[in-house]
């Protein structure tokens, strides 16, 4: 075929239509599902985390105020424990059992450090007049113990045989 015999009537080039964004590719659906699941898990975890610390934080706030005696401090610690542990096991604790319960989540060095104060505080819970320095130290211990033990070491407290 010669060049002068080539048909001159060619059709125009037709461009393909632009790709549509809908429906999405399957990968996008998987990504949306994964993000939704991740966000749901994060919200549930955050809600449980904040709820589990609500009681402890309230009692820590109460302990910032000066308490009149050791019995009041003990009452605040017990109220905080009731938010995490069974009522019957906490309400029955007194004297040496209460001291041992408070010492359970502490390391041996911390137990030695706080044991004398706790025994003094338990003794002073039953007398009318209380030494203000003992009450202040007991409050300091209570803040430390609540921050350290609740709700972080509830399982350890339950497993120690006290609860």
Distance CA 79, CA 103 (A): 17
Residue 17 lies in a domain: no
Distance CA 157, CA 106 (A): 10
Check residue 155 and give its pLDDT.
65
Range(s) of the domain holding residue 93: 54-159
Check residue 98 and give its pLDDT.
92
Residue 47 lies in a domain: no
Each residue's pLDDT tens digit, 70-116: 999 999 999 988 888 888 888 888 889 999 999 998 999 999 999 99
Is residue 105 within 8 A of residue 157, CB to CB? The reply is: yes
Residue 97 lies in a domain: yes
Q: Is the pLDDT of residue 145 over 90?
A: yes
Residue 151 lies in a domain: yes
Is residue 52 within 8 A of residue 151, CB to CB? The reply is: yes
Residue 149 lies in a domain: yes
Residue 23 lies in a domain: no
Q: Is the pLDDT of residue 65 over 70?
A: yes
Of the pLDDT bands very low, low, confident and very high (cuts 50, 70, 90), residue 30 is very high
Is residue 132 within 8 A of residue 67, CB to CB? The reply is: no
Contact partners, residue 32, CB within 8 Å, separation at least 6: none
Residue 132 lies in a domain: yes
Of the pLDDT bands very low, low, confident and very high (cuts 50, 70, 90), residue 160 is low
Say how many domains are in the chain.
1
Higher pLDDT, 42 or 129: 42
Mean pLDDT estimate for the chain: 86
Distance CA 101, CA 163 (A): 9
Q: Residues of the chain with pLDDT > 70: what percent?
A: 89
Check residue 103 and give its pLDDT.
93
Check residue 36 and give its pLDDT.
98
Residue 130 lies in a domain: yes
Each residue's pLDDT tens digit, 8-17: 677 888 888 8
């Amino acid at each position: 075929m010669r060049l002068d015999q080539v048909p001159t009537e060619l059709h125009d080039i037709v461009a393909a239509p632009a790709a549509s964004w809908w429906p999405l590719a399957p990968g996008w659906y998987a990504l949306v599902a994964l993000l939704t699941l991740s966000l749901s898990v994060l919200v549930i975890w955050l809600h449980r985390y904040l709820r589990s610390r609500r009681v402890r934080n309230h009692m820590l706030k109460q302990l910032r105020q000066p308490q009149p005696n050791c019995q009041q401090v003990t009452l605040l610690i017990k109220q905080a424990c009731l938010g995490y542990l069974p009522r019957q096991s906490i309400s029955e604790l007194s004297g040496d059992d209460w001291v041992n319960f408070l010492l359970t989540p502490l390391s041996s060095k911390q137990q030695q450090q706080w044991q004398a104060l706790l025994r003094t505080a338990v003794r002073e819970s039953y007398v009318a007049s209380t030494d203000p320095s003992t009450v202040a130290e007991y409050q300091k211990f209570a803040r430390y113990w609540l921050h350290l033990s609740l709700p972080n070491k509830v399982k350890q407290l339950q497993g120690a045989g006290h609860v």
